[in-house]
């Protein structure tokens, strides 16, 4: 029985969240709340930012490696 209660509680929580997000998407939510579209864009930008940081770090390490190789050749 407790499994059914937990499932119902989870369903009610999910439904409440869905309705609240629908209100935000329609402009009826609290001020400053992000719409679904804005949340998707934020997720995309964070993922892109993570990728760019990894690429930058890789390029820094590569540049440092080649700088050391150049120093060895010129010595």
Phi/psi-derived region of residue 23, left when phi > 0, alpha when psi is between -120 and 50, beta in every other case: alpha
Q: In the structure encoding, which two tokens stand for residue 28, read together?
A: 């009826």
Please give the pLDDT value at position 6.
Answer: 87
Average pLDDT over residues 49-73: 93
Q: Which residue would you say has higher pLDDT here, 75 or 58?
A: 58
Distance, in Å, from the CA atom of 30 to the CA atom of 48, rounded to the nearest integer, reads 28
- Whole-structure pTM value: 0.71
* Tens-place pLDDT, residues 3-44: 888 899 999 999 999 999 999 999 999 999 999 999 999 999
Confidence tier at 1 by pLDDT (50, 70, 90): low
């Amino acid at each position: 029985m407790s499994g059914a209660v937990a499932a119902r509680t989870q369903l009610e929580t999910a439904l409440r969240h869905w309705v609240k997000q629908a209100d935000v998407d329609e402009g009826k939510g609290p001020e400053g709340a992000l719409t679904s579209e804005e949340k998707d864009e934020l997720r995309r930008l964070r993922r892109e930012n993570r990728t760019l940081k990894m690429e930058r770090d890789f390029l820094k390490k590569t540049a440092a490696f080649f700088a050391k190789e150049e120093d060895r050749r010129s010595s």
